[in-house]
Amino acid sequence: MGREAILEAAKKAILEMDEDLCRQVLQDAEAEGIAPNDLLSNGFTAGMQELGDLFGRGEVYLPELIFASEVMQIATDDIESKLDSSEKKVKAVFVLGTVEGDVHDIGKGIVASLLKSSGVEIHDLGREVPAEEFVKKAVELNADFIGSSALLTTTMTEQKKIEEHVEKAGLKGKVKTLVGGAPVTIRWAEKIGADAYCEDAADAVKYVDSQVAV
């Protein structure tokens, strides 16, 4: 079938959210001797990036993004099982959670899934996470990013507390902070001193990619 055709099929599997095609591509790639990291980076991940762009332009919607991330997880799990520890590439470490007082986590879960599928090591702290816990975990893991989600106007102030703890820990400039959630805006991010406002999961992936490439 050839490398280029298989990589195109991998992208198609993501864009069309096709689990059967995904599994077939994995078999074909192994038969052709395509390097697992090549398949992941230039096939499946390229498909997720293209889908993220389409989502950003409003050409695909949230359900498609969720289904595609599930297909991506199948590919990632299969490929990672074939890699030894020296081959597994982690481009960044990301601490993620929904702030204290807030129990919403659907959007956060999508962010985690998309970031993980793009090669980011995710540490999801879950819901109702105290501000200091984000920073404590970032220090423990030597994380590159902290992402917080606030879905209620009453919990947005917790994101400000995270910035204060980042400053107190001497991590300002060393760990990038991302904020998101329905009531959150770029003005709020600027006001509290966050590094980035992300409107959706695709935004988060783009921002992380832009910083990792620096």
CATH code at 44?
Answer: 1.10.1240.10
Report helix angle 106-117 to 62-81, nearest 10: 40
pLDDT for res 30: 94
Both 73 and 139 in a single domain? no
Note the pLDDT tens digit of each residue in 75-118: 988 887 877 665 666 789 999 999 999 988 777 877 887 788 77
Number of domains in the chain: 2
Measured between its terminal Cα atoms, the distance across the chain in Å is 36
Both 44 and 132 in a single domain? no
Residue 29 has pLDDT above 90, yes or no: yes
Both 162 and 110 in a single domain? yes
CA dihedral 191, 113, 214, 146 (to 10 degrees): 40
Both 137 and 182 in a single domain? yes
Determine the Cα angle at 101 with ends 147 and 126, to 5°. Answer: 45
Both 127 and 167 in a single domain? yes
Residue 163 belongs to domain spanning = 92-212
Closest to 96 (Cα-Cα) out of 129, 57, 51, 66: 129
How far apart CA 77 and CA 79 sit, in angstroms, is 6
Both 66 and 34 in a single domain? yes
Establish if 16 belongs to a structural domain.
yes
pLDDT for res 4: 95
pLDDT for res 87: 61
pLDDT for res 86: 58
Both 113 and 69 in a single domain? no
* Whether the predicted model's global pTM rises above the 0.75 cut: no
At residue 175 the predicted structure's pLDDT band, cuts being 50, 70 and 90, is very high
Both 68 and 113 in a single domain? no
Identify any residues that bridge with 97 across adjacent strands, giving them in sequence order.
148
pLDDT for res 178: 98
Question: Bigger pLDDT: 130 or 205?
Answer: 130
Average pLDDT, the chain: 90
pLDDT for res 84: 65
